[in-house]
Amino acid sequence: MNTTARSNTPAHDSIGHADALHLASALVAARRRSGGRVTRLAKRSDGRFTRDDLRAYERGTRAVDADTMLALVRLYGCDPRAALPARPTVSIEHDRVVAGGLSAEYDPADHTTVMPAYVRLVRKLRKLRAEDELDLRRPDLQVVTTYWAHTLMDQVQAEASAAS
């Protein structure tokens, strides 16, 4: 069963379901530490969030984009670094995509094999099955697209040199 939170926000701008649950936990902890009530927080938000909105964010059942996440951590007084778990850095080496001490191989002669290797690696890191939904994160995708851009530029330059 798919339980990923949904909204009208594009998926690449929303945090994933697991991150929404982590954020929810941080919000509840911050509210309890301060002795605050959801109703008071809703009033302090100047109409941005209703009591029901905040309850949904605290349950992790509402999709959260980056702007909303920042507004929530400010409203609740959370440490933004504690609101989301740390992420291993993704890097692309000669024949493998690497992160968190794990790797997935790809064929360096075929740049189209990088993305499937990245997806295999992310599934390994998150311990996901093939049928589980996979939230892809913008910073990781930027690593992959930067690799592709450099690879394509190298190919264009090689072809231009060969033609002259």
**pLDDT tens, residue by residue, 107-131:** 988 888 988 999 999 889 888 888 8
Q: What is the pLDDT of residue 150?
A: 77
pTM of the model: 0.52
Question: pLDDT category, 148, cuts 50, 70, 90?
Answer: confident
| Domain-wise residue ranges, the chain | 11-83, 91-163
Beta strands 96-99; 91-92: pairing state: antiparallel
Say if residue 2's pLDDT is above 70.
no
**How far, CA to CA in Å, does 33 sit from each of 57, 110, 117, 154?**
17, 53, 43, 54
Helix and strand tally (H, E) in the chain?
7, 3
H or E segment at 43? helix 38-44
Asked if CATH classification 1.10.260.40 holds for the domain at 11-83, the reply, yes or no, is: yes
Dihedral sign for Cα 92, 96, 97, 102, please.
negative
